[in-house]
Structure 1
Amino acid sequence: MKPTILLLHGAMGSPATLEPLAELLAADFDVKTFAFAGHGGRGVSLATFTLPHFAEEVLSFLKAHETAPAHVFGYSMGGYAALLAAHQEPARFASITTLGTKLDWSPESATAETRFLDPEKMQAKVPAFVEQLRQRHAPADWAAVVRATASMMVVAGAAPPLAAADFATLQVPVQVLMGDGDLTAERGDASRILAEQLPQGHYTVLPNTPHPIERVDITDLASRIRAFALHHA
């Protein structure tokens, strides 16, 4: 029987954005995924569009579908949700790999992250991306998803769900991957410093890698996820 790996998408994403990765991992893992609240056509509500709620959804999914500890890959926001869930119930996790996950949240970092999350400006400056969001989240309103994402980041900046001290107590093998061109998740060394506090953490910088997962070397990413997870099987 193949081990399970749960793939978690990022903010304003959906399981469809992880399909190329899922295909590469399917030979070695029983690949599973789901859409977070407010994503992929699910209803948008500020009450459920929060990092703590997303972590609850991860735990609920694992409780409903898995009896043994599962491997998890989380892209961007999905990685944070996985870490927060593992902090609450570490026994549910065999390993976690994150990519492009912002670990250091503060009011300043939230302001930097949300300055481009304005539906009207996005419509004018990146209409092709807006059309992707429209199709990805239909029948929900893509603009509501964008506004809820901004709200989530402001809340996380004001009160980070994971305090700095929490990283030092997270007893799960964690592989933290960060692109050398990722200006979204890593500004300075704050995320690296937090990642290095993880008791079983491994921090790796990926060369020639920006933040959008569509521009990541998926074959290399799948290889890194596979090696780390199978080492901790």
Structure 2
Amino acid sequence: MKPPLLLLHGALASDKQLKPLTRQLATAFDVRTFSFSGHGGQPLDGPAFSMAGFAGEVLRFLDAQGWEAAHVFGYSMGGYAALLAATQAPARFLSITTLGTTFGWSPATAAQATAFLDADKMREKVPQFAAHLEELHAPTPLPALLQATAALMRSLGDAPPLTQANLSTLEVPVQVLVGELDTTAGVDTSQQFANYLPRAVFEIIMNTPHPLDKVNPDLLASRVAQFAGQAMAGPR
């Protein structure tokens, strides 16, 4: 029986974002994905569209699959949701790999992250991207999705749920990956938060920016698979 592996997408994306990685890992793992609330055609429910809501969706998805525990890969927002879920139910996670996850939330970083989350500005400056988002997330209107995403980010800035206090007690093996050129997550902040985790490894992927499609797919798949295998082998 293949070990279970859940892949989680980033903000303003859907589980379609993870199809290439799913194909690469499916030979060795029982790979599943889902789209968070408000993404990929899922209903946009105000209370559910929060980091706490997304963490709850991760745990409920594990329940729905009948998985007592699973390996998890989370890109960007998906990595944050996975770690938050793990602080609530660590026994459900065999290992977690994050890539490009923004950990250092503050009012200033939230303001920077939300500056472009305006439907009119987006349609004017990057009309093809706006049209892509409208198609990907239909029937949710683009303005509603962007407003909800901005509110989520502001809430993270005001009260970040992942802190040194709760991460320092998380005994789940965690692999924190960040691109050398990732100005969204930031190399230094990623390493700082990795250092809070007692069973974490940290790696900078050289010459790599934030977007998932700019990451070497073979390298990413190998890192996820190798780390999961090490976690199953026991503490290093």
TM-score of the superposed pair, with normalisation by structure 2:
0.95
Cα deviation per residue 1:15-47 (whole Å; 9 max; x = unaligned)?
001100100000000000111011111122332
Output the amino acid matched with 1:178. Answer: V
Q: Which residue number corresponds to residue 207 of structure 1?
A: 206
| Conserved? CA contact 2:72–2:82, under 8 Å | yes
| Conserved? CA contact 2:179–2:207, under 8 Å | yes
Q: Which residue number corresponds to residue 197 of structure 2?
A: 198
Q: Which residue number corresponds to residue 58 of structure 1?
A: 58
Give the superposed CA RMSD.
1.1
Q: Report the Cα distance in structure 2 between the residues aligned to 1:23 and 1:135, rounded to whole angstroms.
A: 23
Q: Which one is further off, 22-31 or 127-136?
A: 127-136
What is the 5 A alignment of 1:112-191? Answer: 112-186=112-186, 189-191=188-190
Q: CA deviation at 1:127?
A: 1.1
| Conserved? CA contact 2:176–2:190, under 8 Å | no
Cα deviation per residue 1:79-101 (whole Å; 9 max; x = unaligned)?
00000000000000000000000
Q: Which residue number corresponds to residue 79 of structure 2?
A: 79
Among the aligned pairs, what percent are the same residue?
52
| Conserved? CA contact 1:98–1:176, under 8 Å | yes
Q: Report the Cα distance in structure 2 between the residues aligned to 1:45 and 1:111, rounded to whole angstroms.
A: 23
The aligned length equals: 232
Structure 2 segments unaligned to the other structure (5+ residues):
none
Q: Which one is further off, 36-45 or 25-34?
A: 36-45
SS of residue matched to 2:196: coil
Cα deviation per residue 1:79-125 (whole Å; 9 max; x = unaligned)?
00000000000000000000000111111111111111111111111
Q: Which residue number corresponds to residue 220 of structure 1?
A: 219
| Conserved? CA contact 1:45–1:148, under 8 Å | no
SS of residue matched to 1:196: helix
What is the 5 A alignment of 1:102-121? Answer: 102-121=102-121
Q: Report the Cα distance in structure 1 between the residues aligned to 2:100 and 2:30, rounded to whole angstroms.
A: 23
